[in-house]
Structure 1
């Protein structure tokens, strides 16, 4: 903020946010105040937040794994629980590998996952994909400094064929909300985020099954596929991984209410082409 703000005005902003149902009204007020460039900018931002827009869309950014990730209106907002996906990906990856590691971020949204992995790992060649054009534009902003590539298209389809059998790490924060549960989501997600980033089909696992089915064709021997899912869906996700020749295991975090299923491609896997 580059302009003076009276305590009374801050208090008024907090009151408006709290009345609109913002649980962390004081924290949100401070973020809005620190981000606004002018008094009129601040007023407009508060109005948008009170109207129900996600805080991250109003600010234009989200904090994720210690990074400030640009988040454009209409783009899926990276969740804090997804930081657990990053922690698991870093844990399975060989940070001492002598060669550059090939990382693919599918259903990349804003590109937060890929950007966080580049920051956490050494010598990464990043490729990110999303089917939503708005997400692709946003992701390109976030991964531009990493030298990574962002593609528009459906899962593996737009990836260069030269990556087949060469990917060390496949990560996906894929949609996994069952279709009938979309209506139960908070309005911030249901109204302001793209349905394609939320709706996982009848049981929430349509995209996850497609990820698992093609992963062995793209993974290098001993490469890993990691997907975010729910604790309830984890057993069926494990079945999908096993059915496609991946060796699965489940990791969870009570603190973040997060579940990740990790599948490893065995060295001797016989691929169906």
Structure 2
């Protein structure tokens, strides 16, 4: 690499990124070069990326639903497929609606729904302290309130029966499959955001069972799953007293289960 005193060579940055398996090395090099405030910072950022840190953690943000969302190291990075969940949630919400982003991570889902719908009362919860700090930065300008704790437990009781749209991108990877995830995920994102238990649906079951207590009449719960899990998840919703619908998007490789209260 070039010395810190000179501008790092773009071609060399691309080469280094390609050497460690970055499929979109050209695009990544451009993003890193744009984000760096000095040649020395660019060198440091390239080193972090080459060491295996997710690009979004190196940059400090992720492009999600056309929004630049802050995401810190150790916080789950929202995937593009989750845009299907956001689109469906936004279609069900109305200005003035009460929206809850459960297991919110960096708060990207709630932020994107708010950007699409407009004026909503936004609440979010996560169990990971790093995620809570990140979500508070992302949602603070919207007046969103972010709580630290396990699912519904930290929510104020005044929200019972008043939530119009509940989005919950909970972990749904079966425990035995976590080790098969790309290193960027399994080494740099919290296990609690990935591991969904033996069949991947343990947390989803907890969310569905508690949802009727918190949803307003006619309110909706939306959860992302794999296509293979959707049928079982729909049964879980039905047993919890929710009317389930499964929607998929082949282009995004995304599946969402929607439950109406």
After superposition, residues 37-76 of structure 1 pair within 5 angstroms as 37-76=37-76
1:79 paired to 2:79: yes
Deviation at 1:123, TM superposition (A): 2.2
- Following TM superposition, by how much is the alpha carbon of 1:91 offset from its aligned partner in structure 2, in angstroms? 1.8
Q: How does 1:242-261 map to 2 (within 5 A)?
A: 242-261=238-257
**Partner of 1:183 in structure 2?**
179
CA displacement, residues 201-229 of structure 1 (integer Å, 9 cap, x when unaligned): 00000000000001000000000000011
The equivalent of 1:22 in structure 2 is: 22
Pairs within 5 Å for 1:190-269: 190-265=186-261
Aligned residues: 257
* Structure 2: distance between partners of 1:46 and 1:122: 38
Q: Deviations over 1:148-183 (max 9, x none)?
A: 100000000001100000000000110000000000
Match of 1:269 in 2: none
CA-CA distance at 1:247 after TM superposition: 0.5
Task: Give the distance between the partners of 1:215 and 1:231, measured in 2 at CA.
Answer: 22
Q: Secondary structure at the match of 1:221?
A: strand
* TM superposition score normalised by structure 2: 0.96
Residue matched to 2:161: 165
Q: Give the SS at the match of 1:256.
A: coil
Q: CA deviation at 1:122?
A: 2.6
Q: Deviations 1:100-125 (Å, cap 9, x if unpaired)?
A: 21000001000000111111113200
Cα offset, 1:92, TM superposition? 2.2
TM-aligned CA deviation for residue 5 of structure 1 = 7.9
Aligned mates of 1:111, 1:235 — CA distance in 2: 27
C-alpha RMSD over aligned residues = 1.2
Alpha-carbon distance in structure 2 between the residues aligned to 1:176 and 1:73: 21
Q: Secondary structure at the match of 2:259?
A: strand
Counterpart position of 1:268: none
Which consecutive unaligned segments of at least 5 residues does structure 1 have?
266-273
Taking the aligned partners of 1:143 and 1:37, their CA distance within structure 2 comes to 26
Gaps of 5+ in 2: none
